[in-house]
Amino acid sequence: MKKICIIGLGNMGKAMWDILSRKGGFELVGCDKGDDVNACVDGAEVIILAVKPQVFGDLAANIKVDLSGKLMISIMAGIGIEKIAVAMKTKKVVRTLPNLALKVGQSLTLLKAGEDVSAEEKQFVKEILACFGQEIEVDTEDKIALIGVVSGCGPGFIAYYGEKMAEFLVSKGVDKIMAEKVARQTLIGTGEVIKESAWNLTDMRQKVSSKGGLTEAGVKIMEEADLSGIFNKVGEAALKRNAELSK
């Protein structure tokens, strides 16, 4: 049974802890703010870095324990394998990018292993990630940043759209609680249809968009507002921020 230390027990770290605890088969140690990080990582064979990228430098500077030979799994956005390897003084680094759907075992997690990670170690990481949902192994770190704009940031973007749908209903006199319920269930139901049907996303939109109907009229407004162009700007902004974090 491998001993795994999860550093950072915020939204993602705590969700990982809960899921792996229920799964069993792992010896888990959690390290949160105020805990002695050196005591936590001492004796661990695998370390999961679940901290915000902005605090990674301070974290690495505070670790005095020899981490060479330990397997490091990072979920930090923007921090590359080489930077982690140098700061943590270990060559065995796997970079991953899950999303918030991890909380319900539905994450799409991107994965890129460093050159010094063995096939057996990579398989172990994949077994961990399988507890959280699906994983996709990419061949370059650049693809983690690019695909992560959709897979990692996407839940936030979709939730933002749901907020705006609810706000529209409130502006027309619908009770706030009811408006939130309508928006939430609309997103949930749409996700379930996408999951269970053979339709692609274009099929899904066209099934709802009757010719001359309400949905078609609304989609036309989004097209006139150049929603594609707006999303391109959103994606470029996220990529720019990723590059800033990597410095």
Listed residues 74, 107, 139: the one ending a domain: 139
Mean of pLDDT values over 102-118 = 95
Residues 40 and 162 in one domain: no
pLDDT for position 38 = 95
Decide if pLDDT at 198 tops 80. Answer: yes
**pTM for this prediction:** 0.87
**CB contact burial 137-161 (16+ within 10 A = b; e otherwise):** ebeebeebbbbbbebbbbbeeeeee
Each residue's pLDDT tens digit, 141-176: 999 999 999 999 999 999 999 999 999 999 999 999
What is the token pair recorded at 57?
């430098």
pLDDT for position 246 = 80
Residues 80 and 181 in one domain: no
Q: Tally the domains of the chain.
A: 2
Contact assessment for residue 7 and residue 51, using Cβ atoms and an 8 Å cutoff: yes
pLDDT for position 21 = 94
Residues 12 and 102 in one domain: yes
Give the pLDDT band of residue 247 (cuts 50, 70, 90): confident
Contact assessment for residue 74 and residue 53, using Cβ atoms and an 8 Å cutoff: no
Mean of pLDDT values over 179-196 = 95
Range of the domain at 106: 3-139
CA–CA gap between residue 72 and residue 121 (Å, rounded): 10
The CATH number of the domain holding residue 217 is: 1.10.3730.10
Each residue's pLDDT tens digit, 5-33: 999 999 999 999 999 999 988 999 999 98
Decide if pLDDT at 1 tops 80. Answer: no
Each residue's pLDDT tens digit, 111-150: 999 999 999 999 999 999 999 999 999 999 999 999 999 9
Instruction: Provide the total of helices (H) and of strands (E) in the chain, helices listed first.
Output: 11, 7
Helix, strand, coil shares of the chain, percent, nearest 5, are 55, 15, 30
pLDDT for position 200 = 93
Each residue's pLDDT tens digit, 25-75: 899 999 998 899 999 999 899 999 999 999 999 999 999 999 998 999 999
Residues 124 and 176 in one domain: no
pLDDT for position 245 = 85
Residues 111 and 194 in one domain: no
Residues 110 and 159 in one domain: no
pLDDT for position 158 = 95
pLDDT for position 163 = 97
